């Protein structure tokens, strides 16, 4: 885990359009000042929006992707000591904060989607649009790759991953074709994986999406333990926030959204700010197609009851 000071040095390009930035600022209300956390720094968009809104606010931004950490550090450099960027996954945020005396946290934002840069980088192997290695890790310095996961698990276990995390109804057939490709030495790249899926389900697009979309989603979630990381975050959020502090979480698929919705229904911990999730307006959806599936849920930590 590395802390990166915000500097103006050159960093790798990180193209990412911030989703629901105005809505996040509105629910967090940073005008009251204090410390805010952006636990998915990405390109630093949400953190910058908070800092621009309130001159008396501070932000610590976290990301498991070292490229995102460098990009966010560059973007937030102009805010000086009011901003800090840390290389850290959700599951490490609580321990990192405990290691320093940083004061109560007034708000937390998490944007759970993968970035445009991660999808576009062929070396990440997260997309079948460009040929690249079967990696899929958000942090390329740690953990097993997608190909290593496929090789490690049984065919039945792989089918369960694809069904549970990709909601792919034909998961048994897909898993069989993937394992056959692996055994034949024909599973090295993202396009190899797509070809294996197409052999299983055919080339026809269903519901407007490529036949390999659900399988790629499932493997990416599994490789990065995304739902486990989200559960870890949801568990510690009430302890991170000061009484009255606000959590704002943006999800992009139903698996994430269900976990967030369920957590915020715990009335002994949370007061929901809205009954339904906030979605992007028509202008944002037109300018940024990624925003079409974004759902923002926000809740306020219930104040502690006096003894």
User: pLDDT tens for residues 136-166?
Assistant: 999 999 999 999 999 999 999 999 999 999 9
Q: Are 40 and 69 spatial neighbours (Cβ–Cβ below 8 Å)?
A: no
Q: Do 273 and 217 have their domain in common?
A: no
pLDDT on residue 5: 43
> Do 25 and 105 belong together in one domain?
yes
- Domain boundary among the residues 166, 192, 224 is at 224
Is pTM, for the whole model, over 0.85? yes
> How confident is the model over 63-86, as a mean pLDDT?
96
**15 confidence band (pLDDT: 50, 70, 90):** low
Note the pLDDT tens digit of each residue in 268-302. 999 999 999 999 999 998 888 888 899 999 999 99
β partners of residue 162 = none
Does 3 score more than 70 pLDDT? no
Kindly indicate the confidence band of residue 14, based on its pLDDT and cuts at 50, 70 and 90.
Answer: low
Question: What count of other Cβ atoms lies within 10 Å of the Cβ of residue 79?
Answer: 20
Does 12 score more than 50 pLDDT? no
Residues 72 and 144 placed together within one structural domain of the fold: no
Verify that 88 and 104 share a domain, yes or no.
yes
Quick check: 19 pLDDT over 60? yes
Q: Are residues 93 and 157 in the same domain?
A: no
Q: Tell me which H or E stretch contains 280.
A: none
Note the pLDDT of residue 117. 81
Per-residue pLDDT band for 34 (boundaries 50, 70, 90) equals very high
Q: Are residues 24 and 102 located together in one domain of the fold?
A: yes
**111 Rama sector, left if φ>0, alpha if ψ -120 to 50, beta otherwise:** beta
Task: Tell me: pLDDT of 131 over 60.
Answer: yes
Q: Which domain holds residue 213?
A: 128-224
Same domain membership, residue 280 and residue 232: yes
Q: Supply the CATH number for residue 230's domain.
A: 3.40.50.150
Domain termination residue (choose one: 224, 257, 280): 224
Domain shared by 218 and 230, yes or no:
no
For 87, phi and psi rounded to 5 degrees? Answer: -80, 105
Give CA–CA dist 72/143, Å, rounded: 23
Q: Tell me: pLDDT of 7 over 50.
A: no
What total number of domains does the chain contain? Answer: 2
How high is the mean pLDDT of the chain? 91
Same domain, 209 and 261: no
pLDDT above 70 (res 9): no
The answer to whether residues 18 and 59 belong to one domain is yes
Are residues 8 and 100 located together in one domain of the fold? Answer: yes
CATH number at residue 179: 1.10.150.170
C-alpha 53/C-alpha 192 separation (Å) is: 47
CA distance 25 to 19: 11
Q: Does residue 120 sit within a domain?
A: no
**Quick check: is 240 in a domain?**
yes
Tell me which of 209, 224, 239 is where a domain ends.
224
* Closest to 108 in 3D by CA, of 264, 267, 306, 304: 264
Q: How far is the C-alpha of 209 from the C-alpha of 253, rounded, in Å?
A: 14
């Amino acid at each position: 885990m590395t802390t990166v000071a915000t500097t103006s040095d050159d960093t790798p390009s990180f193209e990412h359009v911030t989703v629901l930035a105005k809505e996040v600022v509105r629910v967090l209300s940073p005008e009251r000042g204090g410390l805010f956390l952006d636990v998915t720094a990405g390109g630093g968009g949400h953190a910058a929006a908070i800092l621009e809104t309130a001159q008396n606010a501070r932000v610590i931004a976290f990301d498991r992707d070292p490229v995102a950490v460098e990009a966010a550090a560059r973007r937030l450099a102009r805010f000086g000591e009011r901003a800090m960027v840390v290389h850290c996954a959700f599951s490490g945020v609580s321990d990192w904060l405990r290691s320093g005396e940083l004061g109560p946290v007034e708000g937390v934002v998490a944007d759970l989607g993968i970035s445009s840069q991660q999808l576009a980088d062929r070396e990440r192997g997260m997309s079948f649009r460009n040929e690249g290695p079967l990696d899929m890790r958000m942090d390329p310095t740690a953990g097993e790759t997608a190909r290593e996961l496929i090789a490690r698990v049984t065919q039945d276990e792989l089918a369960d991953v694809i069904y549970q995390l990709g909601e792919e109804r034909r998961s048994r057939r897909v898993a069989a074709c993937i394992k056959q490709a692996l055994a034949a030495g024909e599973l090295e790249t993202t396009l190899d994986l797509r070809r294996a899926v197409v052999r299983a389900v055919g080339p026809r697009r269903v519901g407007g999406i490529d036949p390999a979309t659900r399988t790629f989603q499932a493997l990416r979630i599994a490789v990065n333990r995304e739902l486990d990381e989200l559960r870890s975050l949801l568990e510690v959020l009430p302890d991170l926030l000061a009484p009255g502090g606000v959590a704002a979480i943006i999800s992009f698929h139903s698996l994430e959204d269900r976990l967030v919705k369920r957590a915020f229904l715990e009335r002994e911990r949370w007061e929901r700010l809205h009954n339904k999730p906030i979605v992007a307006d028509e202008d944002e959806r037109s300018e940024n197609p990624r925003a079409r599936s974004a759902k923002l849920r926000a809740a306020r930590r219930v104040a502690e009851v006096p003894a």
